[in-house]
Amino acid sequence: MPNTTVSKASYRGLMISIGLGVMLNPLNSSMVSVAIPALQKAFNIDYTSVSWIIFAFYVSSAAAQPIMGKAGDLFGRRRLFLSGLVVAFAASALAPLSANFVWLIVLRVVQSIGTSMMVAVGMAIVRIHVQERQSSALATLSVFLSGAAAIGPFIGGLLTAHWGWQAIFLANLPFAAVGFGLARRTIPYDDKLAGPAAESTDGSSFRSQLKRIDLPGALLFAVGLTTLFIGLLSFDPGLSLRTGNGEAAALTAIGLLVFVVFIRHELRAAAPFIPLRLFARYPTINRVNLEFMLANLLFYAVFFGLPSYLQQVRHMSESHTGLLMLSLGLCSLIFAPIAGGWIERAGAAAVLRISALVMTAGAILLVVLNPHSPVFLIVLILAAFGIANGLNGVAMQSALFASTPVEAAGVVSGLFNTFRYLGTIFSSLLIGLAMGGEFTGSGFRTLGIGLTIAALLLLALSLPPRPGSKRHNN
């Protein structure tokens, strides 16, 4: 039996329904990237303005997922998952009718919140209901997540070319509709749970539950994170504070200040939104989050940086670049299910060490890459980062679950995904700093050196703790 809560047949349906839900977030974050020129033309706006169709999704997802995870812990994960499908369906159906770009951004944010509901509670549902072969279940979800991110640009390009930018929103409707029908039949009710998780759905009043969600803390978290991310995304590495980065620096400083207020509030709150003391009791959670941020910084620096390098430095066509980049997604898809069985035999820690070694090797190869390097070397680099991404998606989630108490599964899972977006944003900043506004061979070599340092830090975090150390004793 795959788990102890549902039958074998129900297990398959459960995994498919959750997979269809969680895949909508990475699918929509990657699919829209190829529709940027079409959106510019449709709304007559510049590149800087239209790029917020991507950034708005990242920022709102990063802020929403811990909030939705907490809401799932309190109000019921099944209920929130189904609600997320409805919200994503409605936003996707209305987006093509947007009268202007501002309304499209608003609906994009709503779409992001809906898909974040499913990502935040989907992993928590697996954490609670799938208790045997949990790593294999995580590997299945990782296939949905990695697959959606890998094929998103291809699907987005195909839809936009034949039916316009509106099609990338309408494409969500069948997935959301089928996912809703399956989820209603397969996701168990929360009142079947035992222990602390059952307390959130034991019939207590909505008002008392609302008090437990800590709305001031959630608001401070959302405002602080959104302001911080917008500030970081607004930095132009080619400008100084005096010539153009003053506003970005001010927003970043305000975001950090709000976070200081948030931390003070959470430490004093009777029922904090994010239980900070929990992270002190379970330090492994902090280490896994840091590892996840570094892994995503490495992966997305290659995901976003290498295509521009290939086209602007190596002068490859878009089609050839797309074919080469496909090896990144395919390796992620192939190694995600392999990781599940490997973790069950050797443990998550061993898989994370191998993944960090592979990423370090890939980063070193980036340093030696030059305009005359054979295509095979590029494929090898992409394969290394793809393999590591497939392993990390399962191993880090497994390591997180092993150290997370059931009653906090939702908020911890949501915060875990916030570190994904933090790594993504830092990857964009690192690319900008290395290139200085123009993709060159020397700039890409500088990026490779920076990524090698990040990979070595990731490798150091993955190594076994020394006997007698604080980390070892925990």
pLDDT in tens, 106-117: 999 999 999 988
pLDDT in tens, 303-319: 878 877 887 788 877 66
> Per-residue confidence at 63, pLDDT binned at 50, 70, 90?
confident
Angular region, 340: left φ>0, alpha ψ -120 to 50, beta rest: alpha
d(CA 347, CA 349): 6
| Least confident span in 134-138, 229-233, 290-294 | 134-138
3-state class (DSSP) for residue 373: coil
Residue that is written with structure tokens 């010539």 in the block: 243
pLDDT in tens, 418-431: 788 888 878 877 88
pLDDT in tens, 427-466: 877 887 787 666 788 888 999 999 999 999 999 998 876 5
141: tokens are: 């979800």
- Supply the mean pLDDT for the chain: 81
* Domain 1-213 annotated CATH 1.20.1250.20: yes
Q: Where are the alpha helices (DSSP H) in 1-76?
A: 8-22, 24-31, 36-43, 47-50, 52-75
Superfamily classification of domain 276-474: MFS general substrate transporter like domains (1.20.1250.20)
- pTM for the whole structure: 0.75
pLDDT in tens, 327-378: 887 888 888 888 878 888 888 889 999 999 999 999 999 999 988 889 999 9
Task: Report the pLDDT averaged over residues 45-65.
Answer: 79
Q: Where are the domains of the chain?
A: 1-213, 276-474
Q: Count Cβ atoms within 10 A of the Cβ of residue 220 and give its class: 0-12 exposed, 13-18 middle, 19 or more buried.
A: buried
> Per-residue confidence at 8, pLDDT binned at 50, 70, 90?
low
Collect contacts of 14-17 with beta carbons under 8 A, ≥24 apart: 14/125, 14/129, 14/130, 14/186, 14/187, 15/126, 15/137, 15/140, 15/141, 16/182, 16/186, 17/179, 17/182, 17/183, 17/185, 17/186, 17/187
Q: Please provide the size of the chain in residues.
A: 474
pLDDT in tens, 256-282: 999 899 999 988 887 787 778 878 888
Decide if 1-213 and 276-474 have a common fold.
yes
d(CA 343, CA 351): 7
C-alpha dist (Å) from residue 344 to 63, 78, 394, 457: 32, 27, 11, 26
pLDDT in tens, 182-194: 999 888 887 544 3
Task: Report the pLDDT averaged over residues 247-260.
Answer: 90
| Least confident span in 84-88, 101-105, 245-249 | 245-249
- Would you say 96 and 221 are in contact if contact means Cβ atoms under 8 Å apart? no
**Residues 92-114: b if buried by 16+ CB within 10 A, e if exposed:** bebbeebeebeebbebbbbbbbb
| Helix-then-strand count for the chain, H and E | 21, 0
pLDDT in tens, 78-97: 999 999 999 999 999 999 99
Above 60 in pLDDT, residue 467?
Answer: no
Look at residue 197 in the predicted model and tell me its pLDDT.
40
Residue that is written with structure tokens 């699907």 in the block: 155
Which is more confident, 244 or 164?
164
